[in-house]
A and B are shown apart, each in its own frame.
Chain A
Amino acid sequence: MASVHSTAEPDFRTKLQDWLPKLVLSPSVAAMVVFVYGFIVYTIYLSFTDSKMLPSYDWVGFKNYATLFGLSAWSTALVNLAVFASLYIVICMAIGLLLAIFLDQKIRGESVLRPIYLYPMALSFIVTGTAWKWFLDPGIGLEHTMQLWGWESFKFGWIKDRNMAIYTLVIAAVWQSSGFVMAMFLAGLRGIDNEMLKAAQIDGASNWQLYRRIVIPLLRPAFMSAFVILAHLAIKSYDLVIALTGGGPGRATELPATFMYSYTFTRNQMGVGAASAVIMLMGVAAVMVPYIYSELKEKK
């Protein structure tokens, strides 16, 4: 085809072919630059202004951050996040690892069990919260049922208890995500070379030693991926709180995400809301940036 054209044409065509990939990529890059990084810069800027109901551009320095860290609601949210995130991550990983190891023992019915463990991840946190809110409601859910079954003294009122409500968030969140973590560990286990395990068995290693010394260390990449995914989910947790507890009782289950929303959109303290979003972003960045950096360096 090119031979019929004049000599200048192929040049143009080659040039076009050189530019085409970048041209096709450019809308995505533009969207990212504006909607992600541009917006981040804008929100960071707002966090240094005295924005209230609407954005304002009067610079106030670190005043919003000082206000933010002086608020008891914010410190409650941070403490709650620390409790929620650490339990959520640890329990999800523990259950995920346990189920993956057990499922990996030539289990009959694995193809039935696996989807059962996994299906909660298809549900939204709103649906998860609706289901668990009711299940945990002492007047109608588990407590009520146990009492009807004759266990008169059974009490399970965590969801109405200021000190315990945060743990109900953990239960519901673990229910939703632990199956997914199981799948990640199972993928890791299936990638382990069986010859190595057989050799260790011949050397007389017990099953316990086998897993502790060989298998679990080999699962390091799966641990890393699971940690990163769970950590960023924990920091972003918003819907589940809204559906399960609404942040209550009182402020017992307030998290940074719900704090940000209420300060920005209902209390009209946009500057403080923006500052809290920036802190959340820093939290995610602290987890993600080293991970992404090491991933991309390895794959090069």
Chain B
Amino acid sequence: MAVATQDTAVRTGRITRTFIYVVLIFFACFYLLPFFIMMVNSVKPLPEITGGNMMALPKEPTIAPWLSAWSTAQIGVEATGLKPYFLNSILMVVPAVAISTVLGALNGYILTKWRFRGDTILFGLMLFSCFIPFQIVLIPMARILGILGLASTIPGLILVHVVYGIGFATLYFRNYYAAVPTELVRSAQIDGAGFFQIFWRIMLPLSGPITIVCIIWQFTNIWNDFLFGASFAGSNPPMTVALNNLVQSSTGVKEYNVHFAGAILAALPTLLVYIVAGRYFVRGLMAGSVKG
């Protein structure tokens, strides 16, 4: 990878190097520990957790907690496990990511290649909208969803996530397309190519890396959202809300192993996306949006 050759020219002595490795490994443990503990304890029978050591490996490994978390655990009033809520999240995330990414790509294309008076101000307003505390829109959103008949529905949540996802998607594509030479677009225009043709034939083939960044970002944010899910989803909550209900339930024995299995299930999709495509995400971030 090209990155390896870009290391600093600073030279360090042997003792310093040992120290550096010790620190780096310490932090690796710090980041891995909580997840390791969740993993290990999600396959232990309950008595082994409450009576034993959280760091110990399971004596009698069992997948029962996973099965319970998936299909029989008590979520709220129903013993359905997390399965239906996992499905809710999928049904919500896929369209929301797709729509916001397509809109973001088109917006970024327009804001860089079809500039007009006031486009920078418009983009500034969009950019600010990425960062607003969503508490400021909760009350009117609840009312509008009610008026539209979308309260407590998946389409309602899709709408919410698209609306508040457009800003980031536009930000990514705008910064990326800004580096595409405008002459390319102009000469295509002279050759008679229209707005969509140029987008389709010139911009889109170049958009691979930033599309990956945008999809990962949107997927992670929307999958992980809790506030909108808790506020607007009613009896159809996404995975995060269901997990919270499972963990916070005050009735009966606290089944820690089931909680952990549930937490890992809730983390699995984003972790998978991250493991499969995380490299591109970091590379894309480095190339584009984070650059001050």
Chain A residues with a Cβ under 8 A of chain B: 1-2, 17, 20-22, 24-25, 27-29, 31-32, 35-40, 42-43, 46, 55, 95, 98-99, 102-107, 110-111, 113-128, 130-135, 140-141, 144-145, 148-149, 175, 179, 183-184, 186-192, 194, 197-198, 201, 207, 210-211, 215, 220-222, 224-225, 228, 232, 235-236, 238-239, 242-243, 246, 256-257, 260-261, 264-265, 270, 273-274, 276-278, 280-281, 283-285, 288-289, 292-293, 295-296, 299-300
**Which interface residue of A31, A130, A220, A260 has the most chain B CB atoms within 10 A?**
A130
CB-contact partner of B243 in A130, A135, A257, A292, under 8 A: A130
| CB-CB under 8 A for A190 and B136, given A24-B110, A238-B227 | no
- The answer on a CB contact under 8 Å between A296 and B123 is yes
A111 near B1 (CB under 8 angstroms)? Answer: yes
Q: Is the CB of B292 within 8 A of A126?
A: no
Q: Per a CB cutoff under 8 Å, which of A46, A225, A239, A280 touches B139?
A: A46
Q: How far is the CA of A61 from the CA of B37 in the complex (A)?
A: 53
30 contacts between A and B (CB under 8 A): A17-B195, A21-B195, A28-B107, A28-B126, A36-B132, A55-B143, A102-B23, A105-B20, A107-B21, A119-B275, A122-B267, A123-B224, A125-B226, A127-B264, A134-B54, A134-B260, A140-B49, A183-B290, A186-B286, A189-B8, A201-B9, A207-B16, A221-B291, A239-B226, A277-B135, A278-B136, A281-B133, A283-B133, A292-B127, A296-B127
- A278 cross-chain contacts in B, Cβ below 8 A: 136
The answer to whether A187 and B243 have CB atoms under 8 Å apart is no
Q: Which residues of B contact A242 (CB under 8 A)?
A: 226, 230, 244
Within 8 A of A (CB), among B161-200: 162-164, 166-167, 170, 178, 192, 194-196
Q: How many residues from B make CB contacts under 8 Å with A?
A: 104
B285: interface (CB < 8 Å):
yes
Q: B-side binding surface: helix, strand, loop or mixed?
A: helix
Cβ contact within 8 Å between A145 and B53: yes
- Chain A residues within an 8 Å CB radius of B273: 122
Give every chain B residue within 8 A of A1 (Cβ-Cβ): 192
**Which of A2, A22, A118, A277 interacts with B133 by CB under 8 Å?**
A277
Is B87's CB within 8 Å of the partner chain A?
no
Q: Which of A32, A198, A222 contacts B290 (CB 8 A)?
A: A222
Q: Which residues between 85 and 141 of chain B lie within 8 Å of chain A, taking CB atoms?
A: 103, 106-107, 110-111, 114, 116, 120, 122-129, 131-141
Chain B residues, CB < 8 A from A110: 4
Contact of B282 with A by CB under 8 A: yes
- Does A31 contact B166, Cβ atoms closer than 8 Å? yes
Inside 8 A of B227's CB, which chain A residues have their CB? Answer: 238-239
Given contacts A102-B23, A127-B263, A225-B292, contact A135 B226 (CB under 8 A): no
Alpha-carbon distance between A119 and B32 when the two chains are bound, in angstroms: 9
B203 within 8 A of A: no
Query: A269 CA to B243 CA in the complex, in Å?
Result: 28
Given contacts A280-B135, A284-B131, contact A105 B17 (CB under 8 A): yes
Q: Is the Cβ of B226 less than 8 Å from the Cβ of A21?
A: no
Q: A25-B111, A126-B263, A224-B292 are in contact. List 16 more A-B contacts (CB 8 A).
A: A25-B110, A31-B163, A102-B20, A106-B7, A122-B273, A124-B267, A130-B263, A131-B37, A134-B259, A140-B50, A190-B286, A201-B10, A273-B139, A278-B136, A288-B131, A299-B178
